[in-house]
Amino acid sequence: MQSPPERNEPRVNERIRVPVILLIDDAGERLGEMNTIDALALARERGMDLVEVAPMARPPVCRIADFGKLKYERKKREAEARKNQVIVEIKEIKLRPKTDDHDFDVKLRAAERFLADGDKVKITVRFRGREIAHRDIGEDQCRKLAERLGPQAIVEQNPRMDGKQMFMLLAPGKKK
């Protein structure tokens, strides 16, 4: 007995239950509409499988192919696509409304390094006690950092308050 197919796998051989299909042979030539049983016999005669490639078409399109080889090639393509994708991380830089100039410059260099690596930067300004009354100072800190980064950073999310913290999100822009 065959194991149940995966959700995203095409139906193969006896799993194709429609009476009439449009058949394409292993060379890619269109053989026309055919009985599923006759198409399956033709595929077996050639030592291959009958694979449903377009189940939603009317009639469904099936191809004579080696199913194991198709699965292998698809797995290889997916692995190649995963290898080439870039994972963007979010790095966080924490400031306070009273952060001094030198400390601010250190944080600025760290932000430049993160953006150069292709990561997004989340600027967090944390307020304590009565500092919360001066949100404008925290917003100025965020805007000053974004301004000093220049074209290297794009403001993806403007400064906004969330409880006792202010957040701003920067994405990598043009390289220097």
Render pLDDT for 88-97 as a digit per residue (tens, 0 to 9).
889 999 999 9
71 half-sphere exposure, CB direction, 13 A CA radius: 12
CA distance 22 to 38: 12
Burial profile 36-68: b = 16 or more Cβ within 10 angstroms, e = fewer? beebbebbeeeebbbbbeeeeeeebbbbbbebe
At 135, the amino acid letter reads R
Q: What is the pLDDT of residue 2?
A: 56
Please state the φ and ψ torsions of residue 100, each to the nearest 5 degrees.
-75, 170
Render pLDDT for 114-146 as a digit per residue (tens, 0 to 9).
999 889 999 999 999 999 999 999 999 999 999
Strands 165-172 and 120-126: antiparallel
Q: What is the pLDDT of residue 33?
A: 92
The CA-CA-CA angle for residues 24, 28, 29, to 5°, reads: 65
Q: Which domains does the chain have, with CATH numbers?
A: 13-83 (3.10.20.80), 90-172 (3.30.110.10)
Q: What is the pLDDT of residue 9?
A: 80
Q: Find out whether 169 and 157 touch, Cβ atoms under 8 Å.
A: yes
Assess whether pLDDT exceeds 80 at residue 162: yes
The CA-CA-CA angle for residues 81, 83, 89, to 5°, reads: 110
pTM: predicted TM-score of the whole model, two decimal places:
0.55
The CA-CA-CA angle for residues 18, 21, 24, to 5°, reads: 145
Q: How many residues does the chain have?
A: 176
Structural tokens at position 60: 């469904």
Q: Find out whether 138 and 145 touch, Cβ atoms under 8 Å.
A: no
116 half-sphere exposure, CB direction, 13 A CA radius: 8
Structural tokens at position 18: 């429609």
Render pLDDT for 4-32 as a digit per residue (tens, 0 to 9).
556 678 889 989 889 999 999 888 889 89
**CB atoms < 10 A from the CB of 84, how many?**
7
